[in-house]
Structure 1
Amino acid sequence: MRILLAILVFVGVVYGQTPKPCLAPYVWEAKVIQYDISKQFEMRSRMAYDARNQRIRVVDKVNLEDKKDNFATLFLYQEGKEYKLNMKTKECKVIDLTRPFRPVRVPNNATFYGETTIGSLAAEGAGVIVQLWGGQTEHGRYAGSWTLRGCGPVSEVYFSNKTGVVRTDFFDITAGILDPDIFIPPKECM
């Protein structure tokens, strides 16, 4: 009986040590760099993200081959609309969103790949511990890293036959939205 009890305790301890997907913040702002090497596409932007209301605003500088543009794009998934304002020409396109909202988070069915340190833990403030997760979702195959403390996104790589391989890196994340009016469509789009 004691052996059975010991085995049950051991299994419980081992199972309890298996990391569970962390819960990423629902509302934040960050700097973002997104790459799609196959399309020679690079976008540097400032992103406001609101998972609760399924809306994203991106103000970016796009480098596509040798062409450069600046855009302010508002994705309102609950309304099914995308507002894309060219910051130079002030021309606005309103597009029906056909793709679903894709949360920036560790999916519940994610596979834990391990923990690692970005930088160094040899000196205070010189590094950060991240968890690596990956797997398959309805949007495609993915792998990503999230901070151990706070579950902030660090990087994501998504692959689907529709989009190809897209890598996104997140920097300078702050909790909350500084100006909630950024989720109002631009007047040039009305």
Structure 2
Amino acid sequence: MKSLLSLALLLLFTGSCSAQKPHRCRTPPLLSGSLSVSAREGQDWAIAKYRYDAIGQRIRVWEFGHVDDRSFHLNMLFLFREGVVYSISYRNKTCQKNPLHTAFHPSHIPHNASLQSQVVLGGSSGPGEGLLVNTWTGDVPETGGKYMATVTEFGCIPVSTLYYTEQRGWMVTTYFNGVRGVEDPGEFIPPPFCDDVQTEEEMLDFYSALSEESMFNML
């Protein structure tokens, strides 16, 4: 996979850094940004905007991409405290509401993750030329997968994640334009045409809700 090779080369040539010993960290409780995902050697891909609220246990996702030779668009709102997920179409003024099975898990480096390296992405010759990041690795017993997660040393902002499953192989997620906070909290409120929608019987978890259309694992 070209993207995987590029990341491997990037980590190889950036070298190590002599800063303080990296520590496992937790992503800021309010975060906005964008991400891209690719799998199956780039045959499947998606680009998304997201809003993350660990305080209210809410996630909003706007996503488009190409999977299994077809294009898709998603607009989803996950309300973990209420136990529901909305699939929203503003174009058609329609809304689907499903029970949400998954409990909310704040984005963080797991306690059993192992530090692989601390490097400077970009340059280290002068201030502002590079970004100090930590890369952690670990297993996901629930899925039998494994991951490699890179976050900034200062702030614990996600940079990239490599995630492996037998079904999809390696999936590469790159995060960009991350900003602390959520500018418009109203984005976590379902639109009025969702008010009278009946809850579907099918129960979803966070990953299956996204994979219904995109088959991608996100955060």
- Distance (whole Å) between structure 2 residues aligned to residue 113 and residue 126 of structure 1: 23
Instruction: Tell me the equivalent position of 2:96.
Output: 93
Change (3 A) 1:40 1:148: same
Q: Which protein is richer in strand relative to its size?
A: 1
Q: Distance in 1 between matches of 2:184 and 2:99?
A: 25
2:96 counterpart of 1:78: no
Cα distance in 2 between the residues matched to 1:22 and 1:43: 27
- Given that 1:70 and 1:88 are in contact with CA atoms closer than 8 Å, whether structure 2 keeps it comes out as no
For the residue of structure 2 that corresponds to 1:173, the secondary structure is strand
- Given that 2:26 and 2:107 are in contact with CA atoms closer than 8 Å, whether structure 1 keeps it comes out as no
Q: 1:146 aligns with which of 145, 151, 170?
A: 151
Match of 1:170 among 151, 169, 175: 175
- Cα contact 1:139–1:160 (8 A) shared by 2: no
Select 1:183's aligned residue among 184, 188, 199.
Answer: 188
Deviations 1:65-88 (A, max 9, x none): 443333321011222211111344
Question: 1:164: how far off?
Answer: 5.8
Structure 1 moving runs of 4+ over 4 Å: 137-140, 160-165
User: 2:32 aligns to what?
Assistant: 29
Change (3 A) 1:182 1:139: farther
Paired residues of 1:113 and 1:133 also in contact (CA < 8 A): yes
Partner of 1:13: none
Larger radius of gyration: 1
Gaps of at least 5 residues in structure 1 are 1-16
Report how many residues are paired: 174
| C-alpha contact 2:22 2:118 (8 A) present in aligned 1 | no
Deviation readout 1:24-65 (Å, 9 max, x if unpaired): 211110111123328943221111001222210011223224
Native 8 Å contact 2:49 2:61 kept in 1: yes
Paired with 2:97 and 2:85, the residues of 1 have a C-alpha distance of 6
Aligned CA distance change for structure 1 residues 135 and 20 (closer, same or farther; 3 Å): same
Higher relative contact order (CA 8 A, sep 6+): 2
Aligned-residue sequence identity (percent) comes to: 30
Does residue 47 (structure 1) correspond to residue 47 (structure 2)? The answer is no
How far off is 1:181 after superposition? 1.0
Shift of residue 143, structure 1, vs aligned partner? 1.4
**TM-score normalised according to structure 2 size:** 0.69
- Are 1:129 and 2:132 matched, yes or no? yes
1:70–1:86 contact (8 Å) kept in structure 2: no
1:115 deviates by 0.6
Partner SS for 2:96:
strand
